Amino acid sequence: MKKYLLKSTLILILIGLLFSTALFADEGIVNGQNGAYVSETATLFFDEADRMSNLEILARKLVGGFMVKLFIDGGWLMWPILFLGIWGIALCIWKFVALTYAKANVSDFLNDILPLVKNKKYQEAIEVAKKTRGPVAAVIEAGLLKADRGTEAVEKAIENTATIEMAFLEKQFISMSTVINLAPLVGFFGTILGMIVAFDAIAAAGDVDPTIVADGISLALITTMAGLAVAIPVQLFFNILLQMVDNIVLDMQRAIDKVVETFVENK
């Protein structure tokens, strides 16, 4: 699992670097004279590191010139939104891999362990639980380790371990909620900022002209769209992952009921 997490993290970091490279590369095309200065600076930078040329080309293919233009037109608030997007994607991937690893075939597990519990072969049942991944096996193993102390000790050990395993299953959901809540808020902040820019332009010109307020309105709409573009997919994955947790909890409860029932009947 650690290998999958490491690979996923490296991929996300690379995407972030590629996207940033594309921004510096295309800014000269978007911003006119000021853009020419940035383009020249970017060129000098690429001359110092030839490998960045390949990253620039790849970044253009990944995100496209239109996306780069939107990012630049959105202003500095697009950077925290980009960070939240990368963070949210990383959390979703990490949690999906962790929950997939935690999922086990409960029916096969119970078919292996219940006959051993029925015949009071607790040590063999513990070995089966150790070889099975996931919180279900961990909870059953903790209970069987207390089999020589009676039913109450078994139930108490299962309860304590189940609480710990539940905490691990719910880990990172608060961070994902933070991304879901913050991304639209940052976008709405950009909306207010864009309106301020638009009204300042009107006040300076003394006249209402669509071309005068275009930049402010563009800033407002782009940041709002970007915030929602981050929050919506993270919210979708949040719901899917939460359903995966619920399924694991149901499997855990099913295994606990079967093992405890068998233990009590044959103690």
Q: What pLDDT score was predicted for residue 208?
A: 62
Q: What pLDDT score was predicted for residue 49?
A: 42
Q: Is residue 23 part of a domain?
A: yes
Q: What pLDDT score was predicted for residue 22?
A: 41
Pick the last residue of a domain from 19, 51, 73: 73
| Whether residue 113 sits in one domain with residue 161 | yes
Q: Is residue 114 part of a domain?
A: yes
3-state SS record for the chain: CHHHHHHHHHHHHHHHHHHHHHHHHHHHHHCHHHHHHHHHHHHHHHHHCCHHHHHHHHHHHHHHHHHHHHHHHCCCCHHHHHHHHHHHHHHHHHHHHHHHHHCCCHHHHHHHHHHHHHCCCHHHHHHHHHHCCCHHHHHHHHHHCCHHHCHHHHHHHHHHHHHHHHHHHCCCHHHHHHHHHHHHHHHHHHHHHHHHHHHHHHHHHCCCCHHHHHHHHHHHHHHHHHHHHHHHHHHHHHHHHHHHHHHHHHHHHHHHHHHHHHHHHCC
What lies within 8 Å, CB to CB, of 199 at 6+ separation is 213, 216
Domain membership of residue 55 as a residue range? 1-73
Q: Is residue 6 part of a domain?
A: yes
Is residue 193 within 8 A of residue 98, CB to CB? The reply is no
Q: Is residue 69 part of a domain?
A: yes
Q: What pLDDT score was predicted for residue 32?
A: 41
Q: From CA 231, how far away is CA 29, in angstroms rounded?
A: 29
Give exposure, 63-85, as e/b (b: 16+ Cβ within 10 Å): beeebbbbbbbbbebbebbbbbb
| Whether residue 68 sits in one domain with residue 1 | yes
pLDDT in single tens digits along all 267 residues of the chain: 444 444 444 444 444 444 444 444 444 333 444 444 334 444 444 443 444 445 445 655 666 666 767 777 777 888 899 899 999 999 999 999 999 988 888 888 889 888 888 888 889 988 988 888 889 999 999 988 888 888 888 889 999 999 999 888 988 899 999 999 999 999 888 888 888 877 777 777 766 666 666 767 777 788 889 899 999 999 999 999 999 999 999 999 999 999 888 888 876
Q: What pLDDT score was predicted for residue 86?
A: 92
Q: What pLDDT score was predicted for residue 262?
A: 86
How far is C-alpha 194 from the geometric centre of its chain's CA atoms?
Answer: 29
| Whether residue 113 sits in one domain with residue 50 | no
Q: How many domains does the chain have?
A: 2
Place of tokens 């919180």: 135
Q: Is residue 224 part of a domain?
A: no
| Whether residue 157 sits in one domain with residue 112 | yes
Q: What pLDDT score was predicted for residue 27?
A: 40
What lies within 8 Å, CB to CB, of 218 at 6+ separation is 73, 194
Q: Is residue 256 part of a domain?
A: no
